[in-house]
Amino acid sequence: MRQARLFTPGPTAVPAEVLEAQSRPLIHHRTPAFREALASVTDGLQTIMKTRNPVVVMAASGTGGMDAIVANITRPGDTVIVTEIGKFSERWSEIARAYGVNVVPVEAAWGTPVEPDGVEKAFASHPDAAVLLTTHSETSTGVLQDVEAFARIAHDHGALIGVDGITSIGCHLVDTDAWHLDALVGGSQKGVMIPPGLAYVAVSDAAMERMRGGRHGVYYLDLLKAIKSAQKGDTPFTPAISLVLALRRALEMMIEEGLDEVIRRHARNARAVRAAVRGMGLDLLASHPSNATTAVRIAGGRAGEVTQLMETEYGVKVAGGQAKLKGHIVRLGHIGYYNEGDMFTLITAFEDACVRLQITEKFGAGVSALQAAYAEARR
C-alpha cells in the first residue's frame, strides 16, 4: 500500500530537496565543510527566530531542548511559573519538577490560552518566581498564546522567560529580540521541515548571566559549553551530521521564500482550513487558534474513526487528540511544507471521511468554503 502523506503537527512533510541533502555520503564533523554547514544553519535559525542571540543546535528531540532550558536557567530551590493549557505546556512543569524546582501552574481550559492577567496575578502572589516557562503554540489543542505580553510581565517582575516555540517558529512571527525572549526552543520535525532529531535553543545575555551564576548539574545539556563551541563553529559532542545538512537545505528554502511569506502562507492555509471546518458545520477547539494545526471537535468520541478512515482510504495521516482529548478531536496539521493544493487534499479527505461516517451530512461544504477562503485571500 502507498505510504500515507503526513498532515500531522510533527513530524511534518519533508521536501525532496531536503531528503536529498540528508542522504548524501557522510562528511566528518571536524572539517571546514561541516563548520561551514553549521555556520549556515546557525545563521538561518537566527533569521527565522529573529534573533542575534547565540543559537545552539543539539542532537535531541524538542523535549531535549526544553530540558536544557530548565537545567540551565533554573537553580535548585527556584520557583517557576508555568502556563498550563495542554499536554506540551504541562511538560514544562514535569521537567521543572524533575529538577526539584517549585512549580506554580497557571491553568486555562484546554482549548483556550492563559490571559496575560493570569500571569500577572501569579507573579503578584509569587514575587520570588525566577522564570516563566510558557508555550507559544500549544500543539495538543492548537492554541496560540501571547508570549510577547507574557515576556513583558516576566521582565517587569525581574524574571526570565523560557518559551517553547516548537510549533510557532517557521509558522508564526516569533520576534525573539524585540520581545526579549530569554530562552527559546524549536524542534526539527515541525516548522523547519526535516525529520525528528534536532532541537535548537536561542539564549539571551540575561539567560547566560543567570547560567553563569549557578544552575543544576548538567553535562550533555550544558548550554554554556555548547555556545562556546558554537562560537568556534563546533559542537561539544558528535552532531547529527546528516540532519544538520538537511536543515541547511531546508533553511535555504525558507529564506528563499522569505520568512514573511512563509508566515503569510501558514496564515492563509490555516485560515482556509478553519473556514472549511466551519463550512462543514463542525467546531474548532481553540478560541485563539495557532496556524500550526487546526483542532476540530468530533462528537461522540468518534475522532479515531475519522483519522483511521483518512489514513487507510485516502492516504492522509492526521493526528487525533492526546490525553483527555483522545477520541474527541482531530488535529489537521498544516505547519511546514504545505501549499494550497495540499490543503485541498487534506480537506477533501477529511470531509469525505466525515460524510461517510455520518458525522457531517453534505459533500462539498468544506471544500467549497476552502475555495472561497483562498479566493478571498487572493483579492
Q: How far apart are CA 295 and CA 144, in angstroms?
A: 12
Interactions with ligand PLP, residue window 78-97 (CB under 6 A): 88
Q: How far apart are CA 67 and CA 94, in angstroms?
A: 10
Nearer Cβ to ligand PLP (42/139): 139
User: Quick check: 369 and 279 in contact, CB under 8 A?
Assistant: yes
Report how many residues bind ligand PLP under the rule CB under 6 A: 13
Which is nearest to 165 in space by CA: 178, 153, 174?
Answer: 174
- Considering only 12, 53, 135, 204, the residue that binds ligand PLP (CB under 6 A) is 135
62 binds ligand PLP (CB under 6 A): yes
Q: How far apart are CA 71 and CA 68, in angstroms?
A: 5
Which set of grid coordinates corresponds to residue 114? 492563559
166 binds ligand PLP (CB under 6 A): yes
Query: For strand 183-187 and strand 316-317, is the pairing parallel, antiparallel, or unpaired?
Result: unpaired
Q: What is the DSSP letter of 26?
A: P
Which set of grid coordinates corresponds to residue 309? 478512515
Residue with cell 537566527: 46
* Helix (H) / strand (E) containing 93: helix 87-98
Nearer Cβ to ligand PLP (51/293): 293
Interactions with ligand PLP, residue window 172-191 (CB under 6 A): 187
If you write DSSP's letter for every residue of 268-305 in order, what string do you get?
A: HHHHHHHHHHHHTT--BS-SSB-SSEEEEE-GGG-HHH
CB 65 → ligand PLP: shortest distance, Å? 8
Nearer Cβ to ligand PLP (143/151): 143
Closest residue by beta carbon to ligand PLP: 62
CB 83 → ligand PLP: shortest distance, Å? 12
Per-residue contact flags (x/-) with ligand PLP for residues 2 to 21, judged by CB under 6 A: --------x-----------
139 binds ligand PLP (CB under 6 A): yes
CB 25 → ligand PLP: shortest distance, Å? 27
**Contact window for ligand PLP (CB under 6 A) among 25-33, 55-63, 97-105, 244-252:** 55-63
Which residues bind to ligand PLP, rule: CB under 6 A?
Answer: 10, 61-63, 88, 135, 137, 139, 164, 166-167, 187, 196
